[in-house]
């Protein structure tokens, strides 16, 4: 997605400023106002918005939910600054570039309660983080890869960004899970395609030695997948891993276009409805999911409580991820986290009910 034009930015801020009281002062008699801004537009965030809307009703706050059309921290800043100037009591942010945004967020946290979700900025002054441990979730993806290719093979990773916290942690977790002490990022050439350079992690060869980045542009995600399939034409034991919500459907579309469904393995991240349906149909091996509905709900719950002086709702630690496969499985305790393994069909039904439960 292209960056907003300067006109678009002005318009976005102008819309936000429409909420400013006429005298510029916060109305202490009014219900608290809170805002949530995501890192892009995606069905993942529709689920989050449904949860946030439910919490806004349950905890009697006014909510503004913003899905910016570009995955760029510069897009978030004017919206957040407008909310601060309007006297919003709390703001939830999926931080796009923690390193670049932390100083600005520190200023926000001095004027409004700040919660990070999905993507953290731990040094920003936020009161808590709502989300999974993305490295642990990445390790779960790695276990799905090993299940799909138990004897090893060729792996390609696809992701929107490697500057965000989750964009760094997820692939790191995948590769830690695949690695062995003697092959943990060992540079080399593909065993049967010496023209392909990459790195070895245990019995797995990572093409190019790093994820293919699409900058959260879905068209680029699709072209990345198509290009990779062309490069790996005829290579056996291939697994393509999509680490942002839109990546698995883009990979599946590319695989279908070359009639390779079932031959090229696909492992995903997040609960895109197309991904879940493809898992239920046996076309994708599985996906590791977060809980965007409850991200939205919990973030608003915390912000509502903080607005009324209640600090007891703050989150400590990370939320558990879940592993979705066609047939599911029993719960497990993994690294002290209670992990559920639902069936794709069951999870898809529950997710659709969540979306339908609250009118956006």
Domain presence at residue 78? yes
Same domain flag for 142 and 281: yes
pTM: 0.85
Same domain flag for 226 and 282: yes
Residues 24-42, mean pLDDT to the nearest whole number: 78
User: What pLDDT, on a 0 to 100 scale, did the predictor assign at position 354?
Assistant: 86
Domain presence at residue 296? yes
The parent domain of residue 80 ranges over: 6-132+291-318
Alpha helices for the chain (secondary structure H): 6-17, 43-58, 73-85, 98-111, 134-148, 165-178, 218-231, 247-257, 273-280, 292-307, 344-357
User: What pLDDT, on a 0 to 100 scale, did the predictor assign at position 122?
Assistant: 95
Residue 169 has pLDDT above 70, yes or no: yes
User: What pLDDT, on a 0 to 100 scale, did the predictor assign at position 113?
Assistant: 98
User: What pLDDT, on a 0 to 100 scale, did the predictor assign at position 30?
Assistant: 79
Which pLDDT band holds residue 71 (cuts at 50, 70, 90)? low
Same domain flag for 218 and 106: no
Domain presence at residue 352? no
Let me know how long the chain is. 360
Separation in Å, CA 287 to CA 230, 244, 274: 24, 11, 11
From 289, 309, 334, the end of a domain falls on: 289
Convert 25-63 to b/e letters by CB count within 10 Å (16 or more is b). eeeeeeebbbbbbbbbbbbbbbbbbbbbbbbbeebebeb
Same domain flag for 149 and 272: yes
> Tens digits of per-residue pLDDT, 105-138?
999 999 999 999 999 999 999 999 999 999 999 9
Residue 4 has pLDDT above 50, yes or no: no
For tokens 């072209």, the residue is: 223
Q: Domain tally for the chain? A: 2
User: What pLDDT, on a 0 to 100 scale, did the predictor assign at position 355?
Assistant: 84
Residue 226 has pLDDT above 90, yes or no: yes
Q: Distance between CA atoms of 119 and 132, rounded to whole angstroms? A: 9
> If you write DSSP's letter for every residue of 101-116 in order, what string do you get?
HHHHHHHHHHHSEEEE
163 DSSP assignment: S
CA angle 288, 294, 295 (to 5 degrees): 80
Domain presence at residue 345? no
Residue 15 has pLDDT above 50, yes or no: no
Same domain flag for 12 and 108: yes
Q: Distance between CA atoms of 156 and 267, rounded to whole angstroms? A: 10
User: What pLDDT, on a 0 to 100 scale, did the predictor assign at position 2?
Assistant: 37
> Tens digits of per-residue pLDDT, 249-260?
999 999 999 999
Q: Are 159 and 247 in contact (CB under 8 A)?
A: yes
Same domain flag for 175 and 57: no
Same domain flag for 107 and 147: no
Residue 29 has pLDDT above 60, yes or no: no
Same domain flag for 153 and 284: yes
Residue 16 has pLDDT above 80, yes or no: no
Same domain flag for 142 and 263: yes
Pick from 114-123, 212-221, 237-246, 347-356: least confident: 347-356
> If you write DSSP's letter for every residue of 243-300 in order, what string do you get?
-STTHHHHHHHHHHHTT-BTTBEEEEES--HHHHHHHHTTSS-EEEE--HHHHHHHHH
User: What pLDDT, on a 0 to 100 scale, did the predictor assign at position 246?
Assistant: 95
Domain presence at residue 72? yes
Domain presence at residue 324? no
The CATH number of the domain holding residue 68 is 3.40.50.2300
Domain presence at residue 16? yes
Same domain flag for 297 and 274: no
User: What pLDDT, on a 0 to 100 scale, did the predictor assign at position 69?
Assistant: 83
Q: Distance between CA atoms of 239 and 230, rounded to whole angstroms? A: 14
Same domain flag for 201 and 297: no
Domain presence at residue 145? yes
The better pLDDT of the pair 335, 135 is held by 135
User: What pLDDT, on a 0 to 100 scale, did the predictor assign at position 80?
Assistant: 97
Residues 1-28, mean pLDDT to the nearest whole number: 39
> Tens digits of per-residue pLDDT, 261-304?
999 999 999 999 999 999 999 999 999 999 999 999 999 999 99
119 DSSP assignment: B
Same domain flag for 115 and 211: no
**Mean per-residue pLDDT over the chain, rounded:** 91
């Amino acid at each position: 997605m292209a960056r907003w034009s300067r006109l678009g930015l002005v318009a976005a801020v102008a819309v936000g400023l429409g909420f400013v009281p006429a005298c510029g002062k916060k109305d202490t008699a009014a219900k608290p106002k809170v805002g949530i801004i995501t890192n892009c537009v995606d069905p993942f965030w529709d689920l989050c918005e449904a949860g946030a809307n439910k919490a806004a009703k349950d905890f009697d706050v006014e909510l503004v939910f913003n899905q910016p059309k570009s995955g760029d921290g510069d897009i978030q800043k004017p919206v957040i600054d407008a909310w601060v100037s309007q006297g919003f009591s709390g703001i939830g942010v999926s931080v796009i570039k923690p390193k670049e945004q932390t100083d600005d967020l520190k200023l926000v946290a001095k004027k409004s309660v700040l919660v990070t979700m999905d993507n953290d900025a731990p040094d920003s002054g936020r009161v808590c983080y709502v989300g999974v441990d993305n490295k642990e979730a990445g390790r779960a993806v790695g276990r799905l890869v090993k299940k799909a290719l138990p004897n090893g093979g060729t792996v390609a990773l696809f992701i929107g960004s490697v500057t965000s916290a989750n964009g760094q942690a997820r692939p790191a977790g995948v590769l830690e899970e695949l690695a062995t002490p003697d092959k943990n990022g060992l540079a080399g050439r593909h065993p049967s395609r010496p023209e392909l350079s990459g790195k070895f992690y245990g019995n797995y060869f990572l093409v190019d030695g790093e994820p293919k980045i699409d900058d959260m542009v879905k068209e680029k995600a699709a072209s990345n997948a198509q290009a990779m399939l062309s490069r790996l034409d005829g290579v056996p034991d291939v697994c393509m891993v999509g680490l942002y919500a839109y990546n698995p459907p883009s990979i599946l579309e590319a695989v279908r276009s070359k009639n390779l469904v079932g031959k090229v393995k696909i492992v995903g991240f997040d609960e895109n409805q197309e991904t879940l349906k493809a898992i239920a149909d046996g076309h994708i091996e599985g996906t590791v999911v977060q809980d965007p509905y409850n991200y939205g709900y919990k973030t608003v719950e915390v912000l509502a409580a903080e607005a009324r002086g209640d600090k007891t709702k703050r989150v400590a630690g990370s939320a558990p991820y879940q592993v979705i496969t066609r047939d599911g499985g029993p719960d497990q305790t993994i690294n002290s986290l209670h992990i559920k393994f639902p069936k794709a069909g069951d999870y898809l039904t529950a997710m659709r009910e969540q979306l339908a439960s609250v009118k956006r």
